[in-house]
Chains A and B, each alone.
Chain A
Amino acid sequence: MKPGRSGGGLLGLAAVSLLAGCGSNADSLHPQGPGAKDIASLWWWLLGGCSFGMAFVTALLVLAWFRRKSMGPGREPGERAGWIVILTLGVGVMIAGLVALFVVADVFTIRGTEAPAAAATSLTVRAVGHQWYWEFDYTGTTAVTADEIHIPVRTPVRVDVDTGDVIHSFWVPELNRKIDAIPGQRNAIELYADKPGVYRGECLQYCGLQHAHMDFLVFADPPAKFKAWLADQERPARAPASALARRGAQVFTQECQSCHTIRGTSAHGTVGPDLTHLATRTTLAGVTIPNSKTYLGSWIVGSQRIKPGNQMPDITLTNRKLRALLAYLDGLH
């Protein structure tokens, strides 16, 4: 199912302007954490060394071009020189270079990017990949959210990575390397942000139709702000504040609770993400569209046009019911 041409285009255009300031960077060469920084340094050294090698071989080819008329046919001219070059450069220098690379990267740098020991971190978040969104549970609390997490800045955070269905891969390029979410496997990674900011995360293992739209956001907050956010996430859902919102809660019960959870209500569905504090999130559907009433409305009635093949069907609602539902969801701070 393709998104309707003009509708998709308009949505896309609007999404650009709204998302542009939203930490859309997933640039591994713009590292913001120690893991990513170590790897970026490694990269620059590798680039330097390999560029030198590339230039050297290109020079050899160019040299052959220039000598093309100067040699006459002979027996085996330069056979001895050839052996010497092969053994010194092709074997000797290569071995030395590889050993150096191996020691630096696979003995030293690797220590900083391995899965963290449990005792070394102050916070554990469990990231569960689903087709096609990320669920986040804050271990030791009742906080469950989706699509974005908050972590305290300059604090080692352990992420236990798991899957609810197929293999996914958890990657925040500006903070650290990736780790796969594999059925039957316990994997973990450390997130440590040097500065407050928003960092983009992606799913990096092909996991089906909407692998392309399974991003997430990592907000690194000053500790006080983080504590406030976490405390808020732990609370059950706020009761609907207006009559419209109350009607919306009823619509939710009819149409949505079979798939979604809102803690503190009768909704305990587990197919789609937890929506208890939906209104605190900046984006929807795996950072595909911004979280605004318009976008949320379009999503509810026509998610198949925005993210074709995703697990949520298009929900048919009258305009009245939709307004009510949006009013309810807008109150889920």
Chain B
Amino acid sequence: MTTIELPTRQRVDRLERMWQPEPGVLGWLTTTDHKRIGLLYFWTTLVLFGLGGAEALTMRTQLASPNNNVVGPSTYDQLFTMHGVTMIFFFIIPMTTGAFGNYLIPLMIGARDMAFPRMNALSFWVFLASGLFLYIGFAAGSGPDGAWFGYVPLTTRAFDPGRGEDFYALAIIFNGISSSLASANFIVTMFKMRAPGMSFNRMPTFCYAFLAASFGLLFALPALSADCIYLWLDRNHGTHFFDVAKGGSTLLWQHLFWFFGHPEVYILIVPAFGIATAIIPAFTQRKIVAYPLIAIAELLVVFIGFGVWAHHMFTVGLPTITVVFFAAATAMVVIPSAIQVFSWCMSLITGMPRFKTPLLFIAGFIFMFVNGGLTGLMFVAIPFDQQVHNTYFVIAHFHYIIFGAAVFPIFGGMYYWFPKVTGKLYLERPGQISFWLIFVGTNLLFFPMYIVGLLGMPREIYTYAPSTGWSAYNLAETIGGYLTAFGILALLGNLVVSYRRGEPAGPDPWNGPTLEWATSSPPPEYNFAVIPTVTSAYANWDVADRERDARNLADGAMVLDQGHETAVSSVADGRFSEIVEMPHSSPWPPILAFCLAMVFTGLVIGKIGLAAIFALLCLVSLGGWHWKEPQEA
């Protein structure tokens, strides 16, 4: 058979030709390559992060002194609503899952792409469209102003007659479609596309984290979609889901919202835990302590997280037995988090830590996460929760968690994988400086919020009186905010300069433990010339297996170059099951995303006919998508 006879160079050339992307802008528009999609997500979320940050800085400037008038209440209310929605739905989730997850997971499991490459592209274009949808509404003066948690009746048409909350409800449903598709894709990819030999107990902990987050999103998002459907119907079609006078319920909104909302906050941080457990082994040159405990803990955090939602509702007047149950469940979720914290610390202590910039961010992450986690633990005490609920104490808690436990690992991950994605090394000294600026800035920004919350400062207020005694703390927080922003600009500036002037990195500058370091920097379109041999969870440290790959390439084995091919394995044991032809580039994902965007546009401007026409066009696009099967392309 011809597969064995071609020499190595020709085999690689053949792979290069099979996997060649379309050139130019068209190539980016029609891409199904997980790495390109990851990069598209990365740049888009950075822009949205900037917008969310600008919203935050504007609020901090307004609050820097009492009775200030940088912005009035209407603008301020839109700012904190947009800030929350942007940072959660349009920054953290797409940056972790869309950028890091997309780029790295197929590489880490030794695959050539995700299980559903075109659906992966669709997730990105739908995400981009949903972001544009929300921000065009905001720019046009119809920004939502009901806070990110949108409680009724404040967000019903009776109390919020503009279009802002319609943009809110529809943008969230729209964005949820992107995340649900992406979650399904990640789960199936990690189940089926692992390199043969990679059984579940050899899958990197990074992947376990993303698996947990994906299951979380899949089961949590529908509750939020249901809530937003009710809100949109009540606001626009006269239904009475939330109308107490007609048999509806105010608390219905809150129960469904937090049933989604609590798992959501674990979904925000669990992928970042995965980044931390990927970085620690590389910079300590030892395997992570207690791998099985970490893997289970990551899944448990999300699983238990589905049972605690009413701890956001301790002041609404639920029966005591109910609140006590939810406090007990919340206490349980602390345990898997504590397991992970001690695993990370012990890995650092018993390894050979090199505190380069990525590890500095992870150390900072551990510090910030434990801080926020401990104040979260305080909320298990129901009466204490009922004192500080809705004050700045809570804002401090969740920003220590979200900024500390999600954003710090994201920054660390940017530095860690910068060489892999660009082929260049980042500049180390400026990297460390950017860490310290951000670390000092965020602590100055968020720590005083604990104090001012205990002094009674409520959330969501556009100003306060000088007699409250909150002024000095607020000023310090604002200074911290600007310092943080400066540090982030320094970080981004460092990455830009490093891209221009960095030293060549080579495939593996860190001696990293996972398979992305076994291929070139940046990886070729097909990721691996040979489907890797895997016999442990730290595949790149298994020298014998990597040598086996080189021999396979020379022999022409496991190259899979008869088409646009990749390997599929069984779920639990990773036994080699079949070889499938993958879709290559396709125009249908952006087309379908556009049609879907027009459906939502029609709904938000009240033109149901327009929405219906484009819904039909969505079905037509799906037909076009499935017209040619992968082997016919």
Contact = CB atoms under 8 A, between A and B. Distances in A.
B579 interface: no
Given A28-B456, A211-B461, A110 B73 contact: no
B374 interface: yes
A77 B286 contact: yes
B84 to A, nearest CB: 11
Interface stretch (B14-22, B230-238, B336-344, B490-498): B336-344
Given A90-B341, A206-B460, A308-B72, A113 B386 contact: yes
A98 B367 CA distance: 20
B443 interface: no
Contact of B384 (A39, A94, A212): A39
Given A3-B69, A91-B339, A109-B381, A27 B455 contact: yes
Given A27-B454, A39-B387, A82-B289, A91 B350 contact: no
A16 B466 contact: yes
B468 interface: yes
Interface residues of B, number: 84
A255 interface: no
Contact of B374 (A3, A54, A60): A54
Contacts of A117: none
Contact of A82 (B66, B331, B335, B346): B346
Interface stretch (A135-143, A148-156, A173-181): A173-181
A105 B323 CA distance: 12
B219 interface: no
> Counting chain A CB atoms within 10 Å of each CB, which of B363, B467, B469 scores highest?
B467
B227 to A, nearest CB: 15
Interface in A73-109: 73-74, 76-79, 81-83, 85-86, 89-91, 94-95, 98-99, 101-102, 104-107, 109
A61 B345 contact: yes
A165 B345 contact: no
A243 B317 CA distance: 51
B338 A78 contact: no
Contacts of B440: none
B189 to A, nearest CB: 29
> Counting chain A CB atoms within 10 Å of each CB, which of B287, B316, B331, B456 scores highest?
B456
> Counting chain A CB atoms within 10 Å of each CB, which of B350, B367, B378 scores highest?
B350
A89 to B, nearest CB: 6
Interface stretch (A196-204, A217-225, A315-323): A196-204
B347 interface: yes
Given A105-B380, A180-B315, A211-B461, 14 more contacts: A8-B69, A36-B387, A39-B387, A50-B375, A57-B370, A79-B287, A83-B293, A86-B289, A86-B339, A86-B346, A105-B383, A106-B323, A203-B458, A208-B159
Interface of A: 1-3, 5, 8-9, 12, 15-16, 19-20, 22, 24-29, 35-36, 38-39, 42-43, 46, 50, 53-54, 57-58, 60-61, 63-65, 67-69, 71-74, 76-79, 81-83, 85-86, 89-91, 94-95, 98-99, 101-102, 104-107, 109-110, 112-115, 131, 165-167, 169, 173, 177-180, 182-187, 200, 202-212, 288, 308-309
17 contacts: A26-B455, A27-B456, A28-B454, A39-B383, A46-B381, A54-B374, A57-B345, A61-B348, A61-B366, A67-B349, A102-B331, A106-B323, A165-B153, A173-B387, A184-B250, A187-B317, A212-B461
